[in-house]
Structure 1
Amino acid sequence: MNILLVDDESYVTESLYQTIPWRELDIEEVYQASSALEAIDLLEEEDIDVVVTDVRMPVMTGLELMETITERWTHIRCILLTGYSDFEYAKQAIRLQASDYILKPVDDGEFMRSVSSALASIQEERKELGHYHQLMYNRKSDLGILRNSLMHDLLLGREMPRHSLDHKLHEYEIPLRTDQRTIMLLIQLGQRFTGMDDYSVGLMEYAIGNIAEEVFAELLHVWSCKTPHQGLILLAQLKKVPNAGNMETFADSRELKRYITQFQQDVGSYLKGSISVFVSGSFDFPGELGSVYRSGLSSLYLWGNGDHEAVRFAEDHDDRLHEPVWDVTQAFAKPPSLLHLLETRQWDAARDKIEQVFAEVETAFIGQTALYEIFLSVANAYMYLAHKQGHYIHQLDQTGWDLLYIQKVVQSAAKLRSWSLDMLNKLHDISSEQEITSKSHIIKQVQEMVTADSGHDLSVKTIADRVFLHPVYLSKIYKSETGEGLGDYIIRKRMERALYLLKHTNKKIYEITAELGYQNPQYFSKMFRKHYGMTPNEYRDQGCC
């Protein structure tokens, strides 16, 4: 904190400056003035918290200085110095709310106690002020939540007694009144806004609401809120001002469009983004609000994003309704379909398919309805594959299938594209893990069959039949996982068995041939020679057994 010492006798202020341990008092800067006028100049230039002034000074007295300070700098604490014990001075000091009244010559201890008391008073006031501001902030935040909740109830058609609504409008400091003609503005955000994270979008929506209230403040009472469907809504009623006319006339007027255009321009200037606005006709509030909102929402869903900065009135003829509708279903069903690519594990091609569709979205007239159709098409394909693999769809991503989260996903093509690709990656990961596990299980099954089988009727085809796979696909899997062909593996295991039988039994060659599943001894001998470089008889004759 900073202090200003004022006395026409400069030795007094200089003495205080030199002798008082200011740092112990948490004083950062000590300023000095030799007159009240010089003090005022310093007060205008510097941040002063405490003023210690002599009472009797030429031109302007200390009491007059204190009176000026009380009028212009209400936060400053004043301490009076005087060489006279005059009751009249004391009365004026009390009237001007002086922090203290000190007699000269100044005692350092008394002076320090007086300054400490003034500083403590300032700190207490600041603490209370901070607490007050926090309470006001909390109250404003609470009011915002309450207003939003009330708006949602009204928009979704919740019935409410009229007296209860009137009470809430008053309690929540909402300037609208029941049974008055009202207009509704639905605001669609452009891609600069919808591409932001949720926290940033919330800040932008709050700022847009404030801009609207400022722009329309001259003629309209405005209530702005976030809708249950991830948009912004403004309800407006005419103020009782001269030449305001009636709401029916104003709702159809060029003047309203001028205000809306100004609103859009201000959003662009201050927030660097664009918005489109749908304007309803006038209606009775709150009775017709629900139906007007649903009608406006339907119109808004047919639009593209808010980058076009359109202003459309409810009664306007919309030529876009007669334009050819972009066939979302055909986009994903066109061969090879997205579902086919997913079933055949062509992940890169599926990703390209999604990218291709969203590239078309960028150039087509796409409203929120079409975005929702895209979501349903993609989600249906993902759910089909997940269920086919024995998974519940929420195992991919719980948030990705939350209904409230989906509202945000279909807000813009960019968010929907990001969601589609993210879910595809998760589906790919879980499918790859399952495929690895499945292949390992198949290899184990095959090897157990070959090891356990005595050799009769054992072939790639018979094994493939037992594991319910095509022989070619089974051979491909086995080769890729083990590095050895399945047919070669079967022969190798037979030869190892033959070696064992030749070494550990006295069975004849033709008996071993039959046991291993070969039809004649000559073929068995040929295979044995190919594998070990000698016939079974040569093997026995050389004493290898």
Structure 2
Amino acid sequence: MVDILLVDDETYVTESLAATIPWKELGVEGVYQAASAAEALDVMEEQRIDILVTDIRMPEKSGLELIEQAKDKWPGLKTVLLTGYSDFEYAQRALKLQACDYLLKPVDDDAFVSCISSQVEVLRQEWRQAEEEQRQQYIRRTEHTVLSRQLMHELLLGRKRTASALQSLLRQYGIGLEVNQACVLLTVQLAGRFREMDRQSSELIEYAVGNIAEEIFAKPYQVWHSSSPQDHVIMLIALPDDASTDYTDKQKMKTLYHLLQQKVSSYLNGEISIVASDWIRFPEELPKHYREALTALYRLQLDEASIVMLDEQWIKQQTSNTALEELHKPPTFIHLLESGRWEAAKEKLHAFFISNSYHTRERLYEAFIAISNGLIYVASKMGIDLHSIDPQGANLLLDRSIMLTASNLRAWSNEMLDLLSMQYDESDIYHKKHIIKQVQELVSKELGGDTSVKTIADRVFLHPVYLSKLYKNETGESLGDYIIRIRMEKAVYMLKHTNKKIYEITMELGYQNPQYFSKIFKKYYGCTPNEYRDQ
């Protein structure tokens, strides 16, 4: 509802308006009165006034001065001036001060109601627009959060992208890292009382931990924090190539890690364990060091606040596992899952488990990481939350029984493959429909000069040839033909319902040449745009 303030040194004017106008019908809830500019400013300090109605001539401070002062402090305020015939020049000046309207005194009730109704409607439109902008901003922020998390997962799990494509995504999501930039990978595990929280509460804590890290690692460091596929907090602490070597000093970094633990303990009343890599190149070396971090967490069972520095010496001291090469040998385990070759993936697992009759606990840890990474990666591409299928097994810290024997791990792996394969066909159909819907929304919103099969393909992160084939198979119409058809439909609408010139319509639809536009239009409708408009 709207609140209004009536200001006039002749109080009978404001009292009459307050008593006779049907305010509720106009959508006005609060009606306030003031007898001077000073009193009006006091009221506006205490109440949220939406519309200010003021007389021009008042002692001490005029209505024009009141409007100017109020507009400076409350820019969204709507203002209406009450003026006599002799003050018409003042009213013109008021309009230059962005007064919304003016009314001649004595005030006619019908004119006043009409004026206030129009201002109420303007306010409502502005509020709706602001609400929509906030909603869109929230959607964009949420989408960016989801998409940046998905990108982090893909990079940790080893998905390859070209440097230019990755750099474009980083910019699009507002992530300040550069390809080949030096960074440290922090894998953070919630410990202490955090371990007892449900998943939703844990996600809030993870986000808070990331924000604290952003404060601690101030310039020249850059921080990208997200969740990991295994529900840890992941932080990439990056440095520009020209940064001083002082910032890369291991002892300095360890001091900052301790500070992060202290701040989390102080602000969030909980503990975290940190596994920190050495300085590595982003993103090429992420998958290897992420696997090492998970191995360290599982082997050391860091259930209390700890810091582990994973330098090359630490990694070399660990037991090497050549048997895992079977999972990473082309076609890799992840590649088989991506292509839906479930039986071949099972055969690869079978080859791994029979490659050596003796599986150490360390080997099973590493195998679980490799297998679960593949399952999580493919499940996310299918739009499936692995927790919904197996809430315990997706995180080894919740169910360590998987690792007791090789047969346990093998049985769990095969079961997960069966569950995912059952949903693969349905998910694949959904995924394709989602892409088609996404493409059609993009085309309908963006018909400018840059709209083409290639630009649309770039927006949905697919190769143009693949997207064209997919669109044709799913709809029976080529994507290029669809773009032209939508352009022509929009052209018809503008010819019927607007007075825009042909060249204006041509430019708006993304065509540079009106003759070419006319040729395409005639091919569709059998007449030129001018002939169509004249019908």
Please tell me the TM-score bracket, short chain as reference: 0.5 to 0.7
Q: Residues 414-446 of structure 1: CA distance to partner in whole angstroms, max 9, x if unpaired?
A: x779xx9xxxxxxxxxxxxxxxxxxxxxxxxxx
- Classify 1:299/1:11 alpha carbon distance in 2 versus 1 (closer, same or farther; 3 Å): same
Identical counterparts, % of pairs: 42
Aligned mates of 2:86, 2:364 — CA distance in 1: 85
Partner of 2:52, secondary structure, is strand
- In the TM superposition, residue 213 of structure 1 has moved relative to its aligned partner by 2.2
- Give the match's secondary structure for 2:186: strand
Whichever residue aligns with residue 279 of structure 2, its letter is S
Instruction: Give the C-alpha shift of residue 187 in structure 1.
Output: 0.6
TM-superposition CA deviations, 1:165-211 (whole Å, max 9, x none): 11111111111111221111111112433322222222322232233
The answer on 1:311 being equivalent to 2:297 is: no
- 1:4-24, CA deviations, whole angstroms, 9 ceiling, x for partnerless residues? 111122222122122222222
Per-residue Cα deviation, 1:11-62 (whole angstroms, up to 9, x for no partner): 2212212222222223222221111122112211212111111112222221
Deviation sequence 1:355-387 (CA, Å, 0-9, x none): xxxxxxxxxxxxx989979x9xxxxxxxxxxxx
Aligned partner of 2:12 in structure 1 is 11
Letter in 2 for 1:286: P
Whether the aligned pair in 1 keeps the contact of 2:188 and 2:233 (CA below 8 Å) is yes
Call closer, same or farther: CA 1:62–1:165 in 2, change over 3 Å. Answer: same
Number of the residue aligned with 1:202: 203
Q: Are 2:141 and 1:154 equivalent residues in the alignment?
A: no
AA in 1 matched with 2:39: E
Would the alpha carbon gap of residues 256 and 36 (structure 1) be closer, same or farther in structure 2, given more than 3 Å must change? farther
Give the drift of 1:104. Answer: 0.7
Contact kept in structure 2, 1:222 and 1:235, CA below 8 Å: yes
Measure how far apart 1:138 and its partner are. 0.9
Q: Secondary structure at the match of 1:98?
A: coil
- Which amino acid in structure 1 is aligned with residue 261 of structure 2? Q
Paired residue secondary structure (1:106): coil
Query: How is 1:287-436 mapped onto 2 (pairs within 5 angstroms)?
Result: 287-308=284-305, 310-315=306-311, 402=389, 405-408=392-395, 410-412=396-398
Task: Give the distance between the partners of 2:5 and 2:362, measured in 1 at CA.
Answer: 69
Name the structure 2 match of 1:245: 244
Letter in 2 for 1:293: Y
Q: Is the 8 A contact 1:8 1:34 kept in 2?
A: yes
CA distance in structure 1 between the aligned counterparts of 2:70 and 2:303, rounded to whole angstroms: 53
Q: For 2:94 and 2:12, locate their aligned partners in 1 and report how far apart those are by CA, in whole Å.
A: 24
Task: Report what 1:232 is aligned to.
Answer: 233
1:406 partner letter? G
- Contact (CA 8 Å) 1:251, 1:281: kept in 2 or not? no
For 2:282 and 2:156, locate their aligned partners in 1 and report how far apart those are by CA, in whole Å: 11
Equivalent residues in 2 for 1:498-509 (5 A)? Answer: none
C-alpha distance in structure 2 between counterparts of 1:85 and 1:197, whole Å: 72
Give the AA of the match of 1:411: L
Shift of 1:288: 1.6
Aligned CA distance change for structure 1 residues 176 and 22 (closer, same or farther; 3 Å): same
1:317 deviation in Å? 8.6
The 1-side partners of 2:241 and 2:8 are apart by 57
SS class of match (1:307): coil
Aligned pairs (5 A) from 1:453-492: none
Structure 1 residues 185 and 401, CA gap change in structure 2 (3 angstroms): closer
**Number of residue-to-residue matches in the alignment:** 342
Contact 2:83 2:91 in 1 (8 A): no
Q: Is the 8 A contact 1:191 1:305 kept in 2?
A: no
Contact residue 182 and residue 241 of structure 2 kept, 8 A: no
CA contact (8 A) 1:180 1:237 kept: yes
Q: TM-score, normalised by structure 2?
A: 0.58
Q: CA deviation at 1:240?
A: 8.8
The 5 A counterparts of 1:252-271 are 252-271=249-268
Residue aligned with 2:261, SS: helix
Distance in structure 2 (CA, Å) of the matches to 1:218 and 1:191: 31
Q: 1:252 to 1:301 in 2, by over 3 A?
A: farther
Deviation at 1:132, TM superposition (A): 0.8
Q: Secondary structure at the match of 1:275?
A: strand
Give per-residue Cα distances to partners, 1:460-502, cap 9 Å, x unaligned: xxxxxxxxxxxxxxxxxxxxxxxxxxxxxxxxxxxxxxxxxxx
**1:261-299 alpha-carbon deviations (Å, 9 max, x no partner):** 343333334433221212221111122222222222222
Secondary structure, counterpart of 2:256 in structure 1: helix
- Correspondence 1:223 to 2:224: yes
Distance in 2 of aligned mates of 1:100 and 1:261: 62
**Under a length normalisation based on structure 1, what TM-score does the superposition of the two structures give?**
0.57
1:128 aligns to what?
Answer: 129
CA gap of 1:112–1:402, structure 2 versus 1, over 3 A, is closer
Deviations 1:292-323 (A, max 9, x none): 22222222223334532x233224998xx99x
Q: Structure 2: give runs of 5+ residues left out of the alignment.
A: 319-360, 369-385, 405-535
Please tell me whether the aligned partners of residues 176 and 236 of structure 1 are also in contact (alpha carbons under 8 angstroms): no
What pairs with 1:37-116 in structure 2 (closer than 5 Å)?
37-84=38-85, 86-116=87-117
RMSD of aligned Cα (Å): 3.4
Q: In 2, Cα distance between the equivalents of 1:250 and 1:400?
A: 39
Tell me, yes or no, if structure 1 residue 272 matches structure 2 residue 273.
no
Question: In structure 2, how many angstroms separate the alpha carbons of the residues matched to 1:313 and 1:37?
Answer: 66
- 1:73 to partner: Cα distance: 0.8
Secondary structure of 2:28 counterpart: coil
Counterpart for residue 212 of structure 2 = 211
How many angstroms apart in 2 are the aligned matches of 1:240 and 1:295? 25
C-alpha contact (below 8 Å) 2:387/2:394 kept by paired residues = no
1:268 alignment partner, SS class: helix
Name the SS for the 1:279 alignment partner: strand
CA separation in 1, counterparts of 2:123 and 2:362?
60
Structure label with greater radius of gyration: 1
Using the alignment, how far apart are the partners of 2:119 and 2:73 within structure 1?
A: 18
Q: Which residue of 2 aligns with 1:501?
A: none
| Residues 189 and 276 in structure 1, CA contact (< 8 A), matched pair in contact too | yes
Contact 1:301 1:369 in 2 (8 A): no
In structure 1, list runs of 5 or more residues that go unmatched. 323-367, 376-398, 421-545
- CA 1:240–1:121: 2 relative to 1, 3 Å: farther
Q: Deviations over 1:34-93 (max 9, x none)?
A: 111221122112121111111122222211211122221122211111113545333333
1:132 maps to a residue whose letter is E
The residue number in structure 1 matching 2:435 is none
